[in-house]
Structure formats: structure tokens, C-alpha cells
Structure 1
Amino acid sequence: MQGKVRQLGIKIGTLPVGKKNCITDVAGVRVGHVTLDEPLDQHGGYACTGVTAILPHSGNVFQDKVTAASYVLNGFGKTTGLVQVNELGVIESPIMLTNTFGVPAVTQGTMRYMLDMNKDIGLTTGTINLVVGECNDSYLNSIRACAVTPEHAIKAIHQASNDTAQEGAIGAGKGMMCFGYKGGIGSSSRLVKIEQPEVSYTVGCLVLSNFGQSTDFLAEHYVASPTQSKSTLSPTDGSIIIVLATDAPLSSRQLTRVIKRCGIGLGRTGSHFSHGSGDIVIGFTTAHRIPHSTDQLVETRAQLREDHPIMNQLFAAAAEATEEAILNSLSQAQTTVGRNGHTVEAYSFQKAIET
């Protein structure tokens, strides 16, 4: 397995990168994976899938919600919870990623985890809005077997840490493809700074990449190894889930403006948001903790001025981090064998073209 593309000399954008070049550079954010990689029967059935959990902070997210938003680039997807996220502008649960048919089980497991943590839900307070995103991994995974269970979701949450997140064919990314090669989990981060006053914010991105054919990939930007063979796989249009985290003080509406720019990073790699592709962005900021219960009539929160130049830096950070996270999902993935012997080759980066 290769390193991140930056270690291979491929530099994306102009903004500085966080210490870990990962979504966990945003203080408090944690990521956990559970990976399924095992035969299911004697007839080619194979579990090549998993679950990934992104926790906005180390506390109880239901009791201390975070400002959030989502944006649909192309809506061929089966997510849960985004209607309420956009209505109320908050996230109150871990953000979970899995395969398409794993959404019900992961939702169930996440609900069990949150109900155990919050004995008031459904009794003395309202219900909970759970956020689960998905991509279709059926080329490598026996998706009809529904191998993902609620326990896998709970385990992924328990295993979440603020270490540099594992990438490639891991967790929800185990069975995913990108541009006809092995894709999956990728992450990157950017630092946004101004001198007067001296302020620094972090933008982190994690993707679940599962889109595109090899002919879509903008190879003029990223050079393969001279021995790289061109993929002949013709997958369905696929999908990508993009999760963007920041500590910049933004309103839900401002977050929507920022996460729209993730589509620019996606497009730079060669995607055109295909008809059957679920291209969905989920964003949150850790700058605000919104208590579930309060006696206060009025809430007061700081937020950036709309016309301050730092907003343009945040836009650029979203685009750059998304593009690099996608490339990292490719560079960190390993050649993978799944159901019925289906094999997806890893993409071999060499260097960036000098410009």
C-alpha cells in the first residue's frame, strides 16, 4: 500500500495541511471502523464491506448537538436523517457510513447505542435523528446477504478515536470502487489562517468514494505508474459520501455554502455527478455546542461575517480537502478480492505533472 498522495509528491491546492492531514485534525472529531472480510458460503458468497463512524466530539452528541448542514449534489442515495438536519441545522448522533443494504442495521445499532446513553429519549424527551450514509459495494460484496449487523455499528462507534483515521479498503470502504480501481475511505485537512486578528481554523474531510469509471479520471493531473494497467471494469454510476468537519464558527446556512464547494473538489478528479450516483455532503462545525435542554429563551452564538475574506479561504479548503481525500482513498486502498472472485486493482500513483 502506498502512502498518502502528498507523501508521493502530489500537492493539491495552496492551503497548509493539518498535522495528521485527516478529519481528526479538527479537535474532538473521532473516527472508527469495523471491517468485514470473510467468505459467507461455498458458492462464492463473500462479506466485503463494513461500517465507519464519525463522532463530532467525545461527549454525548444528543445532549450537546453540533451545528450542521447537508447538501445533495446528486440524489441517487439512501441516507437517513438529512431532512431534519437541514430543517433544524443540527446533528445529534454519530455520522455512520456503510453499504446500501446495511443502512437499516446500522441505523438500528446506532439507535441502540444512543438509547443506552440517553435514558430520556422517547420517554421524557423526544426521539432522536440518526444520520446514516451509504454507497453500493455489490461488485465485491454479497450485498443481498446483509452481513452488516447492528452490533457492527456499535463496535465502530466504540472504536472511534482521534488518531489518524485508517484509509482505503477499511470500514465502510472495504468493498468500494473509485474510477474502476479500489476506492473507499480517504481523508485530508486544511488550515485557514488570518493575521489580523490572529486566527486559525481547521477544515477536515472524510470521503467514502465509490464512483466513476477509469475513463472519467483526470489522469492528466495525477500520473499512474508506467506499469499501471487501465481498468476495464464498468461499474454502475456509484456514489460518494463526503463528510466535512470544521471548528470555524459558522451558522447552518453558512455551512451549506461551504460544503457546496466540496463538489468542486469532486469535479476536479473527473466526476460529473452521474445519473445513478448518490453524491451527498454532510457538514458540521464543532464551534457550537447546542444543549438539548435549556431554560433560556434566547441562544447567542458567534459566527463569521459573510463578507470577510476568510470565507473564501474556507470555500477553497473544502474543495482542496475533498479532492485530496478522494485521491487518498485511491492511494491507500489495496487490491481486493470479493464475491465470486471479483477483483479490483489498486491504483498506483507515481507523481504529479509539473506545471
Structure 2
Amino acid sequence: MPARYLIPTGISRALLTLFVLSAPLAFGNDDDPRAREVGVAPGIYEPGRLNAITDVAGVKVGQVSIIEGDDIRTGVTAILPHGGNLYQDKVPAGYAQGNGYGKMMGTTQVIELGELETPVLLTNTLSVAEAAAGSIEWTLAQPGNERVRSVNAVVGETNDANINNIRARAVQAEHAIEAISAATDGAVDEGSVGAAMGTVTFGWKGGIGTSSRVLPEADGGFTVGVLVQTNYGGELHIMGVPMSPDALASAAQRVPQDPTPDGSIMIIIATDAPLSDRNLHRLASRSFLGLARTGSAMSNGSGDYALAFSTAETVRRTPERREQGHTIEAWPNDLMTPLFQAVVEATEEAIYNALFKASDVRGVNGDQHPQLPVGGVIQILRERGVIE
């Protein structure tokens, strides 16, 4: 049986090399810059300290990458709204769908009740059930949940079969539990990691990407953070400039594999603004504007899903509030526009980061899926006067 490598978030490359020696690996690309580091900074608002979803206080992200033999390149990414008992202290949540050719388990209950009671997990298309099993097992094991008899696991996916032997169903419940347990509130690994080990975007290697925006105090001072799992296509645009596949391939001496408008994206949004589930749905729906800015038309064969949640203590669904009733003062409709702007900007930049930080991956059938040639992108943007 081929050796299997489980790579949790945060492991150093040196230590990783000791573990895996000469295995054909792929992981987040630390050599290339994030988009903002070369001047690709969409929008009007500033990012948070980490420019990540974890800039929203309390939010944690954990990832496990699974590499096995020559054809397994997949994993799990977990997003936790807070570090407490998520089932007991539920958070308000809203869900939005673009084109619906995909799967996001647990959304009917989110739509019905407007709340989230588990971590949000991302994985590949055929591993949703295993990830959900891990989320349920983890939730039932939390102190205080001894009498729980129903758990609404929320799991999203994209199809990584271009790189990963998806029919092998390498992801197991234990990997989901490991990703949840590894979650931290620090910097988030991006690129070819976790649930995006095997993804492809605009024909180039896709990835996990994240970004955030902080509103001015006059607009509430809130933070909006976004994490994406990119695996979709279309006509790639960066900062409004079309990125010709031929020009980029020439710059890299490599060509993207099978560019197609189809594919999927998962967009997870966190904010500390005290929003109702209704306004969180509205916030989630605006993230698709950021997706469109990158060149997606949300094609017939694409699954475009967004889920937003609020970490604000004042709107948290605690047991006392659920049982006794409680007046919740949510942010008003008339003040939502800055939050809409923030989520559009953060989604766009998170997608750029996913592409910029992704690494070359050789996967199933020996196909090489090259990373976006960042140098070529920078050259085109400079020629167009978009960056210096």
C-alpha cells in the first residue's frame, strides 16, 4: 500500500522533508507573493492585520492535506466561528447560491433556522459524507453535548478529480476531526493545501485563499473576512485586466490544463458585525460580485456557494436566548452597504491569493497542473499601468 502523508496546517517545509523524503508533494507556495504584496489590492477598504478570515476575532481555520502515492491529492479545510461549544452557542448564519451544480450539505437547516451549530468543512465532491461524519463525531464528543441527538453538519465541496483520484475516497472522518482540532486563529496557509490540494482554476492550479476588510469607525468599524476554495473557470481577469492564457503560458513556458468555464467555488464569510441571519444571507449573496470580477460567469456546470456567519456575542444563539427568548439588536438594513462593499473586495482578493500562492501539482494520470505564472501577471499589470 502506498505511503500516506497527512500534512496539518503550519508544518515547516524542512520538517516535512524529513517526513516524506522524495515523495511527489504539493503544498502552499511560500515563495510567491500574496496579491497585495505586489500591489494587487482591489477596493477602497484596508485589510486586517493578517488579511485573512482569522482577522475576525475568534474565527479559527485548520487544514489537513492528504498525499498518497502518485494520485491522491486532496484534503479537508475546517472553519470554526469560535473556539467554544458551537452546538450550544450557535451563531447566526446566511446561505446564498449562485449556480447550483454542486453540493453543500446542511444548508436547508441553515436556511430554515438561520444558524450554524458546527464547524464549516470543505473537502472534495465524493468525501462530503466522510467529512460530515467527522464533524458529527467531533460535535457529539464536546463536553455539554452528552444529550445531543441531532447535529446539522455543514460541508461544502469542489471536484478535484483533475488532479486527485477522487474515486479512491481517501478522505476519512478522522481527517475532518484532525482539521478541526488543528484549527488556530493565526495566519492561514493558502494555495495547494487542505481542501484545495487538487483544485484547478481558470486552467491553472487553484487553491485556498483568504482576505479581509476592516470598515472605518464611521461605518461601524467591523471586520469582514473571506476564505475561498477555488475550482472554477471562465475568462481570468485580475484588477479588471484580462489575462490571456497564451500570454501567461508564454511567460511561464507552460500551459494551463483544459481551461473550462465549469467548476465550483466555496466562499465562507465571517464578520463581527451583529447581523441577523437575513442580512447574513444578503451579505453572502454579494460575494458573487467579487467572484464575477475575476472572470466567472457562474456557468451551467459550476457550483457557486456562499455561507456567511456573525461572531458577534450580541446575536449569538445561546441556550438561554433560545429557551427564554431575548431581544436582539441587529445591525440595520440602511447601514449594510459598507459591509456589502467589504465582502466584494475581500472575495476578489481571496481568489487572487488562492491563485498566487498555489503550487504546481502532479497528480492522477501524471498530469502536471502548473501554478499561475505570477511574474507574467505582474508584467501584464505593469504594462497596463495597474500596478507600479
Normalization by structure 1: what TM-score? 0.92
Amino acid at match of 1:194: E
Amino acid at match of 2:237: L
The equivalent position to 1:221 in structure 2, one of 241, 244, 251, is 241
Amino acid at match of 1:323: E
Q: In structure 1, what is the Cα distance between the partners aligned to 2:50 and 2:106?
A: 29
Worse-matched range after superposition: 316-325 or 294-303: 294-303
User: SS at 1:261's partner residue?
Assistant: helix
- Cα shift at 1:231: 2.1
Does the Cα contact within 8 Å between 1:107 and 1:130 map onto a contact in 2?
Answer: yes
Q: In structure 2, what is the Cα distance between the partners aligned to 1:342 and 1:145?
A: 17
Residues 11 and 340 of structure 1, relative CA distance in 2, 3 Å threshold? same
Asked if 1:34 is matched to 2:64, the reply is: yes
- Cα shift at 1:126: 4.4
Tell me what 1:289 maps to: 316
The equivalent position to 1:55 in structure 2, one of 74, 80, 87, is 80
Tell me what 1:166 maps to: 189
- Cα shift at 1:280: 0.3
Tell me what 1:147 maps to: 170
User: SS at 2:110's partner residue?
Assistant: helix
User: SS at 1:153's partner residue?
Assistant: helix
Does the Cα contact within 8 Å between 2:136 and 2:153 map onto a contact in 1?
Answer: yes
Amino acid at match of 1:354: G
Does the Cα contact within 8 Å between 1:8 and 1:349 map onto a contact in 2?
Answer: no
- Cα shift at 1:294: 5.2
User: SS at 1:253's partner residue?
Assistant: helix
After superposition, where does 1:1-355 map in structure 2 within 5 Å? 1-39=31-69, 46-117=71-142, 120=145, 124-195=147-218, 199-213=220-234, 216-218=235-237, 221=241, 227-228=251-252, 229-235=254-260, 237-287=262-312, 288-292=315-319, 296-308=323-335, 311-350=336-375, 351=378, 352=381, 353-354=384-385
- Cα shift at 1:344: 0.6
Amino acid at match of 2:330: Q
Does the Cα contact within 8 Å between 2:139 and 2:145 map onto a contact in 1?
Answer: no
Amino acid at match of 2:385: E
Residues 79-135 of structure 1 deviation map (CA, whole Å, 9 limit, x = unaligned) = 2100000110000000000000111111111111111115646xx454111100000
Q: In structure 2, what is the Cα distance between the partners aligned to 1:246 and 1:290?
A: 16
Q: In structure 1, what is the Cα distance between the partners aligned to 2:292 and 2:321?
A: 43
Residues 110 and 232 of structure 1, relative CA distance in 2, 3 Å threshold? closer
Residues 8-47 of structure 1 deviation map (CA, whole Å, 9 limit, x = unaligned) = 11121111111100000000000000001221xxxx5x11
Residues 292 and 81 of structure 1, relative CA distance in 2, 3 Å threshold? farther
Q: In structure 1, what is the Cα distance between the partners aligned to 2:222 and 2:144?
A: 35
Residues 203 and 276 of structure 1, relative CA distance in 2, 3 Å threshold? same
Q: In structure 2, what is the Cα distance between the partners aligned to 1:205 and 1:162?
A: 14
Q: Name the structure with the higher strand share.
A: 1
Aligned residues: 342
Q: In structure 2, what is the Cα distance between the partners aligned to 1:258 and 1:242?
A: 11
Normalization by structure 2: what TM-score? 0.84
Q: In structure 2, what is the Cα distance between the partners aligned to 1:330 and 1:250?
A: 31
Q: In structure 1, what is the Cα distance between the partners aligned to 2:273 and 2:179?
A: 27
Amino acid at match of 2:176: A
Residues 43-76 of structure 1 deviation map (CA, whole Å, 9 limit, x = unaligned) = x5x1100000000001010010001011001111
Amino acid at match of 2:213: R
Amino acid at match of 1:181: W
Amino acid at match of 2:182: Q
Q: In structure 1, what is the Cα distance between the partners aligned to 2:156 and 2:130?
A: 12
Q: In structure 1, what is the Cα distance between the partners aligned to 2:137 and 2:214?
A: 36
Q: In structure 1, what is the Cα distance between the partners aligned to 2:301 and 2:123?
A: 18
- Cα shift at 1:227: 1.3
User: SS at 1:31's partner residue?
Assistant: strand
Worse-matched range after superposition: 17-26 or 291-300: 291-300
Worse-matched range after superposition: 217-226 or 345-354: 217-226
Q: In structure 2, what is the Cα distance between the partners aligned to 1:69 and 1:87?
A: 10
- Cα shift at 1:232: 4.6
- Cα shift at 1:139: 0.7
Does the Cα contact within 8 Å between 1:182 and 1:335 map onto a contact in 2?
Answer: yes
User: SS at 1:290's partner residue?
Assistant: coil
Amino acid at match of 2:331: L
Tell me what 2:28 maps to: none
User: SS at 1:317's partner residue?
Assistant: helix
Amino acid at match of 1:341: G
Unaligned 5+ runs, structure 1 = none
Q: In structure 2, what is the Cα distance between the partners aligned to 1:305 and 1:235?
A: 41
Unaligned 5+ runs, structure 2 = 1-30
Does the Cα contact within 8 Å between 1:102 and 1:149 map onto a contact in 2?
Answer: yes
User: SS at 1:200's partner residue?
Assistant: coil
